[in-house]
Amino acid sequence: MSDPRIDEALRPMLPRLRRFALWLARDPHAADDLVQSTVERALSKWASRREDESLRAWLFAILYRLFLDGKRRASRYARFIGSLHEEEPTWPSAERVAIAHSTLAAFADLPVEQRSLLLWITVEGMSYREVADILEIPIGTVMSRLSRARRALRLLGDGGAEIPPLRLLK
């Protein structure tokens, strides 16, 4: 199972996985852990991957499920120790600078699924079919959820009326 071709295929996906993890977990360390777990899972499940399946969608699906599982565990634990509010991860200062941008701030505030949908479709340019496969829902449902996500982003981002011209981010 130590096929260098597998590593070659995985390597270019890492920055994309990390970006997705960063926007899911909103914490750089948690993001790195997520990517690492994703690659581990991918290495051990490589043989079960369908040949026709897009590698990127497959990896995103693994990462997304790992994140949700972790979140579920964390909230079960939170309930267990009697604290009902879910701890929101804190952004380190560098990220907070970027967050100051209203669109990004709105994006960061979206629910996990809406954030994932927008990242997969608008940023990664994935097809609706791929996204439907990841979420295991029909394409029609992807469409309606995408509408909801786009409206939510609008609403949170001050309606976009006074969006300043794009700033360059470090």
> Which residues in this chain contact other proteins in the complex, by CB under 8 A?
2, 6-7, 10-11, 14-16, 18-19, 22-23, 32, 35-36, 39-40, 43, 98, 101, 103-104, 107, 118-119, 121-123, 125, 127-128, 139-140, 143-144, 146-147, 150-151, 153-154, 157, 159-160, 163, 166, 169-170
Least distance from C-beta 118 to other proteins, angstroms? Answer: 6
Of 78 and 108, which CB lies nearer to other proteins in the complex structure? 108
- Quote the CA–CA distance of 95 and 42 in Å, as a whole number: 28
Measuring CA to CA, which residue among 167, 163, 150, 170 is closest to residue 102?
163
Using the structure block, give the residue that is written with the tokens 């852990």. 33
- Quote the CA–CA distance of 110 and 158 in Å, as a whole number: 14
Tokens standing for 158?
A: 């001050």
Least distance from C-beta 83 to other proteins, angstroms? Answer: 31
Of 81 and 166, which CB lies nearer to other proteins in the complex structure? 166
- Quote the CA–CA distance of 127 and 131 in Å, as a whole number: 6
Of 78 and 99, which CB lies nearer to other proteins in the complex structure? 99
The answer to whether the beta carbons of residues 163 and 157 sit under 8 Å apart is yes
